[in-house]
Chain A
């Protein structure tokens, strides 16, 4: 089922949560709504689900306006950040809930419900925990139960609000790969909200980057990462160093006093050398080195006094034999230049 959000606006008191948002989600896609807290991503998701109603604008499922339909009648599966499992019910009862509350006429028989729940338990690999209570499960298991419960009613759309937000790093990684796999199997139109750019880039078919109640960019993960439409997107999708500068013909000059342009460089797109090359470079002094992890993180102070973060591959770091307080040259391999606007200040 495709989803169209048209001109959605929503205010909470004086706070504009969404400002004339337009979004099309084709049938069968897995879409990430990515943005910092307060960007309106969860509000948009809840409006699609019918848990919140927009001040203006329409939501369409397969072209039909569903604004007047309550959450109960929209046939959406909703997965909450904190699971929202029914704590007084077992795993089995939780998953069966959506089927058991159906009106008598459309309610499946006991045997059918049992079969359906068993099938879902198998899908989430928790067949032997059917009689446990939510409190007796780990976070990852709870979230899988929440997902099975949402899928039990065979929703036409699956909506997930920060589904992995409350889990620890390792489980989060496992579960998001599992979600990707699951989506490849059942192809249900899915939207998930996240503030974790890595999660969005890894799992989603398409990423919707949101900021301050507006959509900044919609595109494939490669698109938004490699061709950011705005400084905000570039900034949000990874670590950056921010310099001021000016552009002349095809050259970019980094200079502290300049305010015309903003120059962004990702830390891993900076190299360190002992000698200046004939291209672009600037001087810096190494202040701090952290070699734990796949990349070595070097903090340096640029010649104009601002801190610069550099990430070097381990081999490069070893061959350089970098020391603290050493004078080095930093060579940008790739930069993104945006004309300076008011947004810069906020992005910083």
Chain B
């Protein structure tokens, strides 16, 4: 066979290493910029939240949280998230199952619709419900006759939260379900499993970490949502205020310490979310690395 001249591999390797490494001063400058950015825009605000919250002492901090309006805001936030998250979890799983495992007419339209809450401003999302359920709205007169209150009441807040956090679980699961294909489900089917058994024993275990990840993000957003909820809530203290709304009111009334005290709870939630998210991501990676089909 004719001999073929290959480029010197030593040179090639050295060149490749060089291509992805910058000189020292460039590296350090970039790192310094990144660290400064992180410090000023992320760590500093977080530190300010906690320091402002505890500025007037721990007793003031606790009092701000124990105050009845604050308690009711915390309660309402938990209720809204407690309803919205499970519902969106259910919806997300069914949507991902339908979109990932089946082909049907209008599939891409459905995918686009699922993304709608992401692309619409939260304020508009809130307004939509006011226009439908509000006193002057589409269903307003009918609701008024039957004495059902949605806008400026808890149902409206739950609805707005539901709408805004709609895509989180579905978005997380659709690519995952699609990438796993349908072979395992087909195998289960030929082995005599029913549709429900196939879902419960084959599909769900394969997506559980992705599902948990979606639920964590969904929950964080549900508890932190301001815009949409603000429009439908009516800001009735002790009745229709969620935590973010309560914080805003306190702040506008120059009650900085209590405002930051409640804000610190949300900040803690964010930190817990990050921790849980990191753990779940790590678990999911482990699973996908270990349990490749």
B190: chain A residues within 8 A (beta carbon): 49-51, 71-72, 74, 76-78, 150
Tell me if B293 and A84 are in contact (CB < 8 A): yes
Check if A110 is an interface residue, CB within 8 A of chain B: no
Q: How far is A224 from B187 in the complex, measured between Cα atoms in Å?
A: 33
Q: Tell me the minimal C-beta distance from A93 to chain B in angstroms.
A: 10
Tell me if B291 and A84 are in contact (CB < 8 A): no
In A121-172, which residues have CB < 8 Å from any B CB? 133-135, 146, 149-150, 152-153
A-B contact count (CB 8 A): 81
- Which of A95-103, A240-248, A310-318, A333-341 is the contact stretch? A95-103
Q: How far is A53 from B258 in the complex, measured between Cα atoms in Å?
A: 66
Tell me if A84 and B290 are in contact (CB < 8 A): no
Q: How far is A144 from B188 in the complex, measured between Cα atoms in Å?
A: 17
Tell me if A72 and B293 are in contact (CB < 8 A): no
Contacts A87-B206, A133-B291, A134-B291; is A153 near B186 (CB within 8 Å)?
A: no
A87: chain B residues within 8 A (beta carbon): 184, 206, 291-293
Q: How large is the interface on B (under 10, 10 to 19, 20 to 34, 35 or more residues)?
A: 20 to 34
Tell me if A84 and B184 are in contact (CB < 8 A): yes
SS class, residues of chain B in contact with chain A: helix
- Which of B20-28, B86-94, B193-201, B266-274 is the contact stretch? B193-201
Q: Tell me the minimal C-beta distance from A315 to chain B in angstroms.
A: 24
Q: How far is A85 from B181 in the complex, measured between Cα atoms in Å?
A: 12
Q: Tell me the minimal C-beta distance from B276 to chain A in angstroms.
A: 21
Q: How large is the interface on A (under 10, 10 to 19, 20 to 34, 35 or more residues)?
A: 20 to 34
Check if B111 is an interface residue, CB within 8 A of chain A: no
In B276-293, which residues have CB < 8 Å from any A CB? 287, 290-293
A133: chain B residues within 8 A (beta carbon): 290-291
User: Apart from A71-B186, A152-B191, what 12 extra A-B contacts exist at CB < 8 Å?
Assistant: A51-B186, A72-B194, A78-B187, A78-B190, A80-B183, A86-B188, A87-B292, A88-B205, A101-B188, A101-B191, A101-B192, A153-B192
Return the chain A residue nearest B193 by Cβ. A101
Tell me if A97 and B193 are in contact (CB < 8 A): yes
Return the chain B residue nearest A51 by Cβ. B186
The 9 sampled A-B contact pairs (Cβ below 8 Å) are A84-B184, A84-B293, A86-B184, A87-B292, A87-B293, A88-B291, A98-B191, A101-B201, A152-B191
Check if A60 is an interface residue, CB within 8 A of chain B: no
Residues of B within 8 A of A (CB): 183-184, 186-194, 197, 201-202, 205-206, 287, 290-293
Return the chain B residue nearest A100 by Cβ. B201
Q: How far is A203 from B293 in the complex, measured between Cα atoms in Å?
A: 27
Q: Tell me the minimal C-beta distance from A216 to chain B in angstroms.
A: 28
Q: How far is A150 from B187 in the complex, measured between Cα atoms in Å?
A: 9
Interface string of A41-75 (1 = CB under 8 A from B): 00000000111000000000000000000111111
Tell me if B291 and A135 are in contact (CB < 8 A): yes
Q: Which of B183, B201, B205, B287 contacts A84 (CB 8 A)?
A: B183
Residues of A within 8 A of B (CB): 49-51, 70-78, 80, 82-88, 97-98, 101-102, 133-135, 146, 149-150, 152-153
Return the chain A residue nearest B183 by Cβ. A84
B191: chain A residues within 8 A (beta carbon): 97-98, 101, 149-150, 152-153
Contacts A88-B205, A101-B197; is A134 near B189 (CB within 8 Å)?
A: no
Tell me if B293 and A85 are in contact (CB < 8 A): yes
Contacts A102-B192, A135-B290; is A84 near B197 (CB within 8 Å)?
A: no
Return the chain B residue nearest A142 by Cβ. B293
Return the chain B residue nearest A155 by Cβ. B190
Q: How far is A76 from B190 in the complex, measured between Cα atoms in Å?
A: 6
Tell me if B206 and A84 are in contact (CB < 8 A): no
Q: How far is A134 from B187 in the complex, measured between Cα atoms in Å?
A: 15
B290: chain A residues within 8 A (beta carbon): 133, 135
Q: Tell me the minimal C-beta distance from B191 to chain A in angstroms.
A: 4
Q: How far is A75 from B189 in the complex, measured between Cα atoms in Å?
A: 10
Q: Which of B189, B192, B194, B202 contacts A86 (CB 8 A)?
A: B202
Q: Tell me the minimal C-beta distance from A235 to chain B in angstroms.
A: 29
Return the chain B residue nearest A70 by Cβ. B189
